Chains A and B, each alone.
Chain A
Amino acid sequence: MVLHKFGEKLYSGLVGTMTLHLQEMAKTIEAAQGNLFLEELNRKWNDHNKALQMIRDILMYMDRTFIPSNRKTPVHELGLNLWRDNVIHSSKIQTRLLDTLLELIQKERTGEIINRGLMRNIIKMLMDLGSSVYQEDFEKHFLEVSADFYRAESQDFIECCDCGDYLKKAERRLNEEIERVSLYLDSKSETKITNVVEKEMIASHMLRLVHMDNSGLVNMLIDDKYEDLGRMYNLFRRVPNGLPTIRDVMTSHLRETGKQLVTDAEKLKDPVEFVQCLLNEKDKYDKIINLAFSNDKTFQNALNSSFEYFINLNPRSPEFISLFVDEKLRKGLKGVSEEDVETILDKVMMLFRYLQEKDVFEKYYKQHLAKRLLSGKTVSDDAERSLIVKLKTECGYQFTSKLEGMFTDMKTSQDTMQGFYAAYAAELGDSPTLVVQVLTTGSWPTQPSITCNLPAEMSALCEKFRSYYLGTHTGRRLSWQTNMGTADLKAIFGKGQKHELNVSTYQMCVLMLFNSADRLSYKEIEQATEIPSSDLRRCLQSLACVKGKNVLRKEPMSKDIGEEDAFFVNDKFASKFYKVKIGTVVAQKESEPEKQETRQRVEEDRKPQIEAAIVRIMKSRRVLDHNNIIAEVTKQLQSRFLANPGEIKKRIESLIERDFLERDSSDRRLYRYLA
């Protein structure tokens, strides 16, 4: 027919016939009752598809020649269009189809089982008819209905569920929708429907969820609810501003608890416990971020900045961290494996990094290290050195050079003592054993102190050592720090009890006096020993007033030492141990005046550092304005301490006075470097 120029007739005949046929089909479909409606529609659609294929094969010639040259719709597409217009868009089918589909989905959402295969076929049909048919006739309505559904449902949930349960439900719904798409919807619908769920179930209730009483984010953090937290993280990540919301609440909670921790008067009584609490807190949040927040960098940063914030709220943090290390290195690490030691030290270093006043830490660390080394109390030389190396990598050579100097002194002193005894072995015979530690002035945190009078046998020995040492090291000066040493004494009491007493040098001086006297008054002791009175009082107190360690007896009996008191050897002294260690009454933590003194020393030490920084900066910049110089100095020094702007200003003024800098004559804010 095409060959005989009847192409037009054939084509319009096809359209007419098919239209009529499809209208008939539509009527049958309309007539289908209830549940059979979709099945009927599906069957007719399959029939139509088969028919359409046959028609296309029969009319292939027309399809190839007449249609392209006359710009008509190809047969297959024509068949689909006619199906769409006559069946799907027929007034009685269009809404019924949509309602049926939505109703089935609603049923499935409420837990009923539906014929998913049939659903998939029908949806596939809509997709075959063109993406616009799928979107207009189904998807658009589907999303609207879903939004309504989830809005209502989330409202119900939030009224009656706690935060954790709510999140579980939201997660399940989200997964259901994703599954639905994969089972019978167009895969392009996935992001659209998940967006609806996210918006209705998460974004709209985000703040309420996070702050929910007794079950919100703060409670999850307190109770380490890793699963719930992880769920919250994964769900909130899907919505705008979700993660910042979690992060902000976490940060402010962390800051608040941290602040309470570092200002808790009870905690301040025990520095070791204080630092342990900080470490526990850090561990807790590290674990949360690791397990629940997928090690999110922004969360780690929030954690770090929170710690930095509250650790520095307490000016004693540097001291306490050093005390913590001290405790660990003195006894806490006994019997702990090398690896565990490293772990603990690494944790301490992490706290150290948060400190703004690193120089204060250094000061205390030096004091505590000195005590450890001199009393021989350090548990592990390796651990000590390992920590020094860590401090060095963190803060540079300058920071640790003096600490390392202390170790060198200890080693050198050992060698010196060996040399001394090798040289004098014969001469010394059975005189007491003297151990001297030669400390380099400047490396050690020693305070100048008055040398007390040593017992005759000791001072003779000390003189021998002095001449030996100065003989090998000319040009040096030795002074005895009798306030720092210790001694082991063998003592025999009234009924023949033998004990070895471990005492301080001062205590030894006092006790040795009783070798030649039965009764000594406070004044006599003071005169004989010349120990500074505050030290002497403490020393006598620990010898006469501590139960179980009272090798001396005092009249009158009382807790305090008076100028008029008299002292005797306590013949009735008894102890179940052979070795008795007599401590000195000293506070481990610094006392208030000591603290002030340390603080003052720190401030004094900072001055030259600030000035050096100013000069360095001005030397290279020549001219700089006030605000920039403050900013640059602060930046240069922040690895050691936080310089106070007022102090920087004072240092600038001091440099002006000493003609290192001048103020610009017209612009007061500008400083010039004077070479």
Chain B
Amino acid sequence: MLCLATGKAASKELERIDQLFFSYANNSSGLIDPEGIESFCSDLEVDHTDVRILMLAWKMQAEKQGYFTLDEWRRGLRALRADTIVKLKKALPDLDKEVRRPSTFEDFYTYAFQYCLTEEKQKSIDIESICVLLDLVLGSRFGPQVDYLVQYLKTQTDYKVINMDQWKGFYRFCTEISFPDLSNYDPDSAWPWILDNFVDWMRAKQG
């Protein structure tokens, strides 16, 4: 009986999750599109550029920026045990905590980059977007690093786009390198070249 009851409860929950999905989905495409996401955000009372939306997308493992499929929606909301907007709102702080755990953060960080690759075979992201993304995902934890890095990225002329290897390098740099003295930065170890340049730039700035 108990088993049946939970099964029943579960199917009820799934039903409500699906209902919620279709309340935002576009009827013709069967997807939640940018428009749907916007009304979803306003119901959630969170700005669509807020890092928490990115976290939700990560939880859903959403593939395409600006769209949620039904499968992704189900994956995310069931994991969060949320079938209403109210429950989802309550689940957000826990999601935030989960993402910030070091064991999961790297995965989230990598996901954030991939999420921004919108074109087929696209492998890198333009500097402008990278700066926004950096601030979004690392800004609260590594404020000074991100500020300088963004400033550097906007002034340098060697690179117009950033690839995954460099993106990962930024995070490692933030976690491993003493800042702003950079005392443990070893240019002979395998840091991406762009970080060597960033360090040179920082040192020149510091005199």
Complex contact A649–B193 (CB within 8 A) = yes
Residues of A within 8 A of B123 (CB): 657
Q: Is the CB of B172 within 8 A of A650?
A: no
Chain B residues near A625 (CB-CB < 8 A): 190
**Bound state CA distance, A626 and B191, in angstroms?**
9
Report which of B163, B189, B196 forms a contact with A646, defined as CB distance below 8 A. Answer: B196
CA distance A646 to B165 in the complex (A): 16
Q: Tell whether, in the assembled complex, residue B189 and residue A657 are in contact, meaning their CB atoms are under 8 Å apart.
A: no
What's the least CB distance linking B159 to chain A, in Å? 10
* CB-based contact A657/B165 at 8 Å: yes
Bound complex: CA A336 to CA B124 (Å): 62
- The yes or no answer to B188 lying at the interface (CB within 8 A) is yes
Q: Are A663's CB and B189's CB within 8 A?
A: no
* Highest count of chain B CB atoms <10 Å: which of A646, A663, A671: A663
Query: Which of B124, B168, B190, B192 interacts with A669 by CB under 8 Å?
Result: B190
Which A residues, 651 to 675, have Cβ-Cβ distances below 8 Å to chain B? 652-653, 656-657, 663, 668-669, 671
A627 at the interface (CB under 8 A from B): yes
Question: Which A residues from 602 to 657 make CB contacts under 8 A with B?
Answer: 625-627, 646, 649-650, 652-653, 656-657
Are B124 and A627 within 8 A (Cβ)? no
Which B residues lie within 8 Å of A646 (CB)?
193, 196
CA distance A553 to B183 in the complex (A): 71
| Chain A residues touching B, majority SS | helix
CA of A13 to CA of B189, assembled, Å = 94
Q: Is the CB of A663 within 8 A of B190?
A: yes
Q: Are A626 and B163 in contact (CB under 8 A)?
A: no
CA distance A64 to B196 in the complex (A): 95
Chain A residue at minimum C-beta to C-beta distance from B176: A668
Q: How far is the CA of A667 from the CA of B192 in the complex (A)?
A: 14
Q: In the complex the two chains form, is B124's CB within 8 Å of A626's CB? A: no
A668–B165 Cα gap in the complex (Å)? 10
Chain B 174-204 interface residues, beta-carbon cutoff 8 Å to A: 188-193, 196
Do residues A669 and B189 form an inter-chain contact, with CB atoms below 8 A?
Answer: yes
Q: How large is the interface on B (under 10, 10 to 19, 20 to 34, 35 or more residues)?
A: 10 to 19
Given A653-B165, A663-B165, A626 contacting B190 (CB threshold 8 A): yes
Q: List the A side residues contacting B193 at CB < 8 Å.
A: 646, 649-650, 653
Interchain CA distance A625-B188 in the complex, whole Å: 11
Contact indicator A668/B189 (Cβ below 8 Å): yes
- Cβ of A133 to closest chain B Cβ, rounded Å: 68
User: Nearest Cβ distance between residue B198 and chain A, in whole angstroms?
Assistant: 14
In the complex, A663 Cα to B172 Cα: how many Å? 13
Closest to A657 in B: B163
| Cβ-defined contact, B124 with A668, below 8 A | no
A652 to B191, CA, bound (A): 11
Interface centre among B124, B172, B189, B190 (most CB of A within 10 A): B190
Residues from chain A with a CB closer than 8 A to the CB of B165 are: 653, 656-657, 663
Specify the chain B residue showing the minimal Cβ separation from A650.
B193
**Tier of interface size on chain A:** 10 to 19
- Give the residue among A646, A652, A653, A671 with the most B Cβ atoms within 10 A: A653
- Contact in complex: A668, B190 (CB < 8 Å): yes
The distance from the CB of B189 to the nearest CB of chain A, in whole angstroms, is 6
Q: Which of B42-70 contact A (CB under 8 A)?
A: none
Please name all residues of chain A whose beta carbon is closer than 8 Å to the beta carbon of B164 when the two chains form the complex. Answer: 657
Interchain CA distance A657-B164 in the complex, whole Å:
8
Which residues of chain B come closer than 8 Å to A650, judged between CB atoms? 193
B190 partner residues in chain A, CB cutoff 8 A: 625-626, 649, 652, 663, 668-669, 671
Q: Which of A656, A657, A668 contacts B172 (CB 8 A)?
A: A668
Measured between beta carbons, the chain B residues less than 8 angstroms from A663 are: 165, 168, 190
Q: In the complex, what residues of A have CB within 8 A of residue B124's CB?
A: 657
* Chain B residue with the shortest CB-CB distance to A667: B190
Which of B166, B172, B188, B196 has a CB less than 8 Å from the CB of A627?
B188
Chain B residue contacts of A653, Cβ below 8 A: 163, 165-166, 192-193
Which A residues lie within 8 Å of B191 (CB)? 668
Residues of A287-336 at the interface with B, using a CB-CB cut-off of 8 Å, are none
- Contact residues in A for B196 (Cβ distance below 8 Å): 646, 649
Whole-angstrom distance between the Cβ of A210 and the nearest chain B Cβ: 38
Chain A residues with CB under 8 Å of B163's CB are 653, 656-657
For B192, what are the chain A residues with a Cβ–Cβ distance below 8 Å? 649, 653
Residues in B with CB closer than 8 Å to A671 are: 190
A625 to B165, CA, bound (A): 16
Q: In the complex, what distance in Å separates the CA atom of A649 from the CA atom of B194?
A: 10
Chain B, 118-171, CB within 8 A of any chain A CB:
123-124, 163-166, 168
By a CB distance below 8 angstroms, the chain B residues around A649 are 190, 192-193, 196
Closest partner residue, chain B, to A645 (CB atom):
B188
What's the least CB distance linking A503 to chain B, in Å? 46
Q: In whole angstroms, what is the CA distance A627 to B196 when docked? A: 15
Q: Which residues of A contact B188 (CB under 8 A)?
A: 626-627
> Using Cβ atoms and an 8 Å threshold, which residues of chain B touch A652?
190
Q: In the complex, which residue of chain A has the Cβ closest to the Cβ of B197?
A: A646
**B62-93 interface with A by 8 A CB criterion:** none
A591 → chain B, closest Cβ, in Å?
A: 26
Among A625, A668, A671, max chain B CB count under 10 A is at A668
CA A650 to CA B191, docked complex, whole Å: 11
A656 CA / B164 CA spacing, docked (Å): 9
Residue on B nearest A663 in the bound complex, by CB: B165
User: In the complex, A668→B172 CA distance in Å?
Assistant: 9
Interface residues of A (CB under 8 A from B): 625-627, 646, 649-650, 652-653, 656-657, 663, 668-669, 671
- 30 A-B pairs with CB atoms under 8 Å apart are A625-B190, A626-B188, A626-B189, A626-B190, A627-B188, A627-B189, A646-B193, A649-B190, A649-B192, A649-B196, A650-B193, A653-B163, A653-B165, A653-B192, A653-B193, A656-B163, A657-B124, A657-B163, A657-B164, A657-B165, A663-B165, A663-B168, A663-B190, A668-B172, A668-B189, A668-B190, A668-B191, A669-B189, A669-B190, A671-B190
> Could you list 10 further interchain pairs (A-B, Cβ under 8 angstroms) beyond the known A627-B189, A652-B190, A656-B163?
A626-B188, A649-B192, A649-B196, A653-B163, A653-B192, A663-B165, A663-B190, A668-B190, A669-B190, A671-B190
- The 4 A-B residue pairs with the shortest CB-CB distance, nearest first, are A626-B190, A669-B190, A656-B165, A657-B163
What is the interface of chain B, defined by CB distance below 8 A to chain A? 123-124, 163-166, 168, 172, 188-193, 196
